[in-house]
Structure 1
Amino acid sequence: MTKAILTEDNIILNQSLGGKEEAIRFTGDILVKNGYVEKLYVDKMLEREEVTSTYIGNHVAIPHGTEDAKSKVKETGLSIVTVPEGIDFGNGNVAKILVGIAGKGNEHLEILSKIALVVSEEANIQKILEAKSKDEILNMFNEVN
């Protein structure tokens, strides 16, 4: 039986983080703690960020591992962290929503397109940042199926 890709355990609201590296580690550690990836995957998330920024605009960053990190993925999963005061991802880009992603095979491509549909709308960004419960965020991402 495969795990649910996104659960309440994978969502942390209103977190305060000290910088980009801490933010990526925090986002990745949720995936580790909940059994989606091996610990080494988090290092590969940081490595990916050194190669190219995972900031995608609209106050959203999608930290994920490098191509060679796929062997460290046990199950496809997402983690979502809201950081209302924002994290500087460089070049004036401030992320307030972090979406950690780990995909087996090419499953991450389908997941990325679903994430993009949700976060491309400014109204959804506000809804995510103002969410009072993890359920509100789960529902937003589940409606995209």
Structure 2
Amino acid sequence: MTKEVLTDKTIKLNESFQTKEEAIRYVGALLRDNGYVNDEYIGKMLEREELTSTFMGNFVAIPHGTEDAKKAVKETGISVVTVPEGVDFGGGNTVKLLIGIAGKGGEHLEVLSQIAIVCSEEENIDTILEAENEQEIINLFNEVN
């Protein structure tokens, strides 16, 4: 991987959204604006959400593109957005932590594995939600490497 997968520029703390579509667009825009994906990828993230919810439980959603979105990925990247008030993802599911992912080639499996390790511990999710700066989140993800 030539680029950092997670940087302080792809982490936003204490955001607020009215809808899951707004939240997914925001997470995707962080990936786009930092050179990980092109604009088409955001639409593919919304398409994925229509097919099946990216809500994973424990207040976490992992928005990502559909299978055919791979051509819109320039570099593997992650965006992390905390939403303390939560955003409704339907079905009574509230999301407070959004982790947008874009994987180049087979790298998305490695990224998903790392996210799964971090998010499998409720205390890690609490640490992310209570983070006072982006570096705390970067440090947490680096610990599981």
Pairwise TM-score range, normalised by the shorter structure: over 0.9
1:79-128 deviations in whole A, cap 9, x for unaligned?
A: 00000011111111111000000001111111111101111111111111
Name the structure 2 match of 1:92: 92
Q: How does 1:30-41 map to 2 (within 5 A)?
A: 30-41=30-41
**Partners of 2:2 and 2:113 in 1: CA distance:** 21
Aligned length: 145
Q: How does 1:1-80 map to 2 (within 5 A)?
A: 2-80=2-80
Alignment RMSD (CA, Å): 0.8
Superposed displacement of residue 144, structure 1: 0.8
**Partners of 1:104 and 1:90 in 2: CA distance:** 29
Residue aligned with 1:18, SS: coil
Residue aligned with 1:79, SS: strand
Superposed displacement of residue 60, structure 1: 0.3
Structure 2's unaligned 5+ residue stretches are none
Structure 1's unaligned 5+ residue stretches are none
**Partners of 2:116 and 2:96 in 1: CA distance:** 15
Give the structure-1-normalised TM-score.
0.98
| AA partner of residue 139 (structure 1) | N
Residue aligned with 1:74, SS: coil
Superposed displacement of residue 17, structure 1: 1.1
**Partners of 2:123 and 2:107 in 1: CA distance:** 27
Q: How does 1:106-125 map to 2 (within 5 A)?
A: 106-125=106-125
Residue aligned with 1:69, SS: helix
Deviating 4+ runs (over 6 angstroms)? none
